[in-house]
Amino acid sequence: MMFFDCSAYFGLPSRRPLMPVPRAEDLLAEMQHAGIARALVWHITQHDGSPQVGNQLLAEGIAPYDHLIGCWAVLPNQAREFPRPLAFLRQMQAARVRAVRMFPNSHKFLLNRAAMGDWLEAFSAHRVPVLLSMQYGMDWPALYALLDEFPGLVTIICDHGCWGEDRLFRPLLERYPNVYVDTAQYLLDGGIEALVRDYGHSRLLFGSGFPNQYMGGMMMAIRHAQISDEAKAAIAGGNLERILAQVIFPGGLP
């Protein structure tokens, strides 16, 4: 079983995590110790500081390591703080970045068509996954409103919690076929089995939430879930591989 983590970061946050990993190589060492083959990662400065600086630190950090795939962060671009979307996508491709994160509550903007329409239209058209953390700058009403405006957006819901959060994300799984949920805080007895039973194994992604959570907890939960080996392999890494392979960069190149 190949584990491909959809939700891990490196860098030193303002609040000390369980296992600080200042550099990409520190994160990679923890992955190797746990038995995680690859990870889709971000840099904490993208949230705690400047997305632009964090994007640069992320790109520089992962450049030597093929096992690490990057997420960049964006803001509303009315002030032209970023390149235009197609140019940004080309930069992503060159930097081995395959997904984006947004932190609307933390960065004081609305994640809707009026503020972010140029980004969201481009990400929808090019099937770029958008990772939204319920722990870092996102809330459920805003997420529902976003998907109502952009129903085809490839969306990965991260850090959604365990106590009754199913009631919040299950309606989205039912209505929007490109919505996925990670496992980082899904500490619900029988929860993995229930989601696979109700929605199939393609909608759930292994995410450790490291370094805020330990890597091994959800690895063990997936290994010992009462689901088929095919489902375990898909959740552990196959689903994320498929999603990232479907990203279309300008010119049609993967």
| Number of neighbours of residue 127 by Cβ within 10 angstroms | 16
Which residue's structure tokens are 């009631």? Answer: 167
Average pLDDT over residues 155-179: 92
pTM for the structure as a whole: 0.96
92-118 burial code (b ≥16 CB/10 A, e <16): bbebebbbbbbbbeebebebbeebbee
Segment 38-92, tens digit of pLDDT: 999 999 999 999 999 999 999 999 999 999 999 999 999 999 999 999 999 999 9
247: left (phi over 0), alpha (psi -120 to 50) or beta: beta
pLDDT digits (tens, 9 = 90+) for 18-32: 889 999 999 999 999
HSE toward the beta carbon, residue 173, CA cutoff 13 A = 21
* Residue ranges of domains in the chain, CATH in brackets: 4-245 (3.20.20.140)
User: What is the per-residue DSSP string for 60-71?
Assistant: HHHTT-TTEEEE
Give the 3-state secondary structure of residue 97. strand
Residue 68 near residue 62 (C-beta atoms within 8 A): yes
DSSP 9: E
